[in-house]
Amino acid sequence: MKQKRATAIAPANIAFIKYWGVRDTTRTLPYNGSISMNLDACLTTTTVTFDENLTRDEITLTFYQQAPHLATGVARERVVVHLERLRALAGTDCYAKVISSNNFPSDAGIASSAAGFAALTRAGVAALGLELDERQLSLLARRSGSGSACRSIPSGYVEWYLPSTEFDLVQWDQASYAKSIAQPEHWDLTDVVAVVDTNAKKIGSAENHRLATSSPYFATRLAEIPDRLAAVREAIVQRDFTKLGQAMEADAVSMHAVCMTSHPPSFYWNGGTMNIIHAVRSWRSEGLEAYFTIDAGPNVHVICETADSEVVAQQLRQLPGVEFTIANMVGKGTRLEEPTTPDVE
């Protein structure tokens, strides 16, 4: 192999039922199943080039509205560790050049790491000429450390399954992957992301996944989740927006209650976040049906039927603290942008 290159585009995803708490950090195995939709407008594009002339991995990241920069520290380390996984699968020790850019704010609760690691996995696998099916790609993306990346691989509405509790960790590792529940065309929902802060969060979700079990409410959350997962699955199949919204909001509040009561606690919300929560609840009482959910950051995802999305976005932009909105319909999964190039001298 002289030089092998591929480019992939991956969507961020928003979880209706959240992955929170890591059972096994080495394999990135969750305590609970989760369900999400892919976001068609929040994308990461990544080109991976394996090149025999390189003497180390070179990783260039372009964050939202920023100049490209060479990744250092933990950000670089996470990518290098994942490249090592890919190299081990392909039986090569060739270093790679990775060029990755996001068209949305990073590390602010819009699943930038999910999109980033899904794109890195897809592009890296293609560049190395590995033939992996969707399940294997999803498993591999999950092992990146950003578990939710496994949900950005399949298309549309996606569930990350919780394997049988009788399995050991090695069996879990093979069985914990994500699969589509429904394609994007199945149901016209929109996630209007209301951005109240474009800065990176102070505590990454990786650290807080480890702290989740320190909350006295974590066990309660886990006990509630099977019913909520069933409700969300059914709601998607039946296109029952009220059922989806109620389960989704309850799950977001439960996840944040765990964050706020972990040791040490994390408070991701700011004043703008609270303004949106109150507004969405009040719009609902006036007949505009929309529901909020929030990842590990202050920005709020307001989910509505697409027919209502312009009104929702307009009203959100009038709220104090809202800088801008990004409307996302349900998106496709991770895909290659161009075929793998042949060996280049």
Interface contacts to ligand PMV, rule CB under 6 A: 15, 18-19, 34, 111, 113-114, 146-148, 205-206, 209, 295-296
How near is the Cβ of 174 to ligand PMV at its closest, in Å? 19
At 228 the three-state DSSP class reads helix
**How many residues are recorded in the chain?**
345
Tell me how crowded residue 243 is: count the other CB atoms within 10 A of its CB. Answer: 15
CA dist 38 and 16 (Å) reads 11
Residue number, 42 or 296, with CB nearest to ligand PMV: 296
How near is the Cβ of 187 to ligand PMV at its closest, in Å? 20
Which residue number has the CB closest to ligand PMV? 148
How near is the Cβ of 208 to ligand PMV at its closest, in Å? 8
**Which runs of E-coded beta strand occur in the chain?**
3-17, 22-24, 29-30, 34-51, 58-62, 69-70, 96-102, 157-160, 178-182, 189-195, 290-293, 300-305, 324-329, 335-338
How near is the Cβ of 255 to ligand PMV at its closest, in Å? 6
Residue number, 25 or 66, with CB nearest to ligand PMV: 25
Residue number, 138 or 148, with CB nearest to ligand PMV: 148
What are the CA-CA distances from residue 167 to residues 26, 33, 104, 332 (Å)?
17, 15, 38, 31
Residue number, 90 or 248, with CB nearest to ligand PMV: 248
CA dist 219 and 19 (Å) reads 14
Residue number, 4 or 151, with CB nearest to ligand PMV: 151
How near is the Cβ of 142 to ligand PMV at its closest, in Å? 9
